[in-house]
Structure formats: C-alpha cells, structure tokens
Amino acid sequence: MPRRVLILGGTSDGRALAELLHPASRRCGATGCAISVVSSLAGRVRSPRLPPGEVRIGGFGGVAGLVAYLRDEAVTHVVDATHPFAAGMTANAAAACARADVPLTILRRPGWTERPGDRWHRVASLAEAAGLLPRLGARVFLTTGRQDLAAFADLDLWFLVRSVDPPDPPVPRRMRSLLARGPFTVEGETALLREQAIDVLVTKDSGGADTAAKLEAARAVGVPVVMVDRPPLPPGVPVVATPEEAAARL
C-alpha cells in the first residue's frame, strides 16, 4: 500500500527527513516503494526554509482539525519533528493520531550536555529563568525566541534579543533586537558576547549544532547560562533522535 507521511516540521531535522523521504532522492529496492510526503509548517517564521516536496503552512485547528486532515488526506504515518518546545503541537499530534489510529513517531534531537567549565543554571520555565536573572547579571543575551519575551518584560535589566523575525510585544523596556538565523560560529558568538559586554545568557535546551556555538562561547568567556529544560513528551509514543532513525522506522 502507498504510504502517505505527514511531517510536522519547521526544524532542520524536519527538512532533513523530508529530503530523505522525497521521491526524487529516495532509492527504492527491488520490491519498489510508494511514499508521498507532505511537510506542515506552523507559519510563524516569515520566510521559512522550505523542505523539498509538498508543503502546507498554517495550523490545523486543534485536535479535531488534525484528525480531519489525517482522514481526508489518507495519511498513514505522522512524524512530529517540531521544535522541542512546541509542546502544544506535540500533545495535539499524540491525541489526534490516537483518535485516527495513525502511527506517530516523535523526532527529537538530544538536548545539550553540560561540560567542564560550564556555569549552567537549569530551570523549568521562562518565569523561573526571569526570577533568577537579577542575581546573575545585568546585561542579558536572550535567545529564547521572539514570542517568549513577556516573562522578561518587567525586569530592570538590559537585553540583547536575537530572533529570526522581530520580537512580539510585550518586550523588555531596555532591549536591542538582533535579527539573525543560525548556524552561528564560536568565533562570532564569542565576539558578540565581548562586544556587548554580556554577563549572562538565557536559552532553551533546543539541542542541535546550529545554535550550540553560543554555549561554547559562554564557556570560553566565563558567562553563566540559564538553561530552560524541555517540556515532557506524551507517554507511550516512540521517540527517535535523528532523521535517519525516523526514515528507517517508516
């Protein structure tokens, strides 16, 4: 039977999986294969990097909307390759796939690991990160995304906020916005920390190589890091760490 795979993407891992599964680049065995792939992006980034093949942009309308899409499009497999902090979408995917009886695989790259010389402070939420900051520094490099600034809006600190698109209000009173997209280099991140006199870094435990350079730079310069832990995954759903593992599972 032909397989119709829905990739909930918007990440580099989602793009990599789409490339592995795309019919133009997929090698089939002697028995043949028939796989069609559609990648779904949330549409929060103005100019996203599009994966190969069919792409849809926008939400589904909650669990009921996703169930209807799975049935209308005859989707046979779903891979959740969304951002590790897209907890709402992951929960909806788990509920919708269970209701529609469609197998779900979660693709999550490993989180970052603290190394010798690091000065990490792990927290469970952005609110906890904001409460900790005044004890750690006065000039903050904030890399948690443009939609997560409300927790820091009332702090009397200076923030360098890096995001792909301009930040959404409410934002900190004293802030410089830096629009940039990774991957970043250790040399560039080290220079940025020094030029801006950064004395504390705040980030989410996204994992991956594209934005890991800031952690190496913080280690080299001696800047403490406030690391926001990932939300828990739905129980009972298979989890793989790489696009190759996800493709093999499919």
Q: Are 52 and 22 in contact (CB under 8 A)?
A: yes
pTM of this structure: 0.88
pLDDT in tens, 76-87: 999 999 999 999
Q: What is the pLDDT of residue 25?
A: 46
Domains annotated for the chain, with CATH where assigned, are 3-110+231-249 (3.40.50.720), 120-228 (3.40.50)
Q: Are strands 35-41 and 54-57 parallel, antiparallel or unpaired?
A: parallel
For 37-56, what is the mean pLDDT? 85
Q: What is the pLDDT of residue 24?
A: 46
pLDDT of residue 33 exceeding 80: no
For 24-48, what is the mean pLDDT? 70
Is the bond preceding 170 in cis, omega lying within 30 degrees of 0? yes
User: d(Cα 155, Cα 134) in Å, to the nearest integer?
Assistant: 8
Angle, CA 232 vertex, CA 159 and CA 199 arms, to 5°: 20
For 216-226, what is the mean pLDDT? 97
pLDDT of residue 34 exceeding 90: no
Task: Give the CA-trace dihedral at 40, 91, 230, 6, to 10 degrees.
Answer: -20
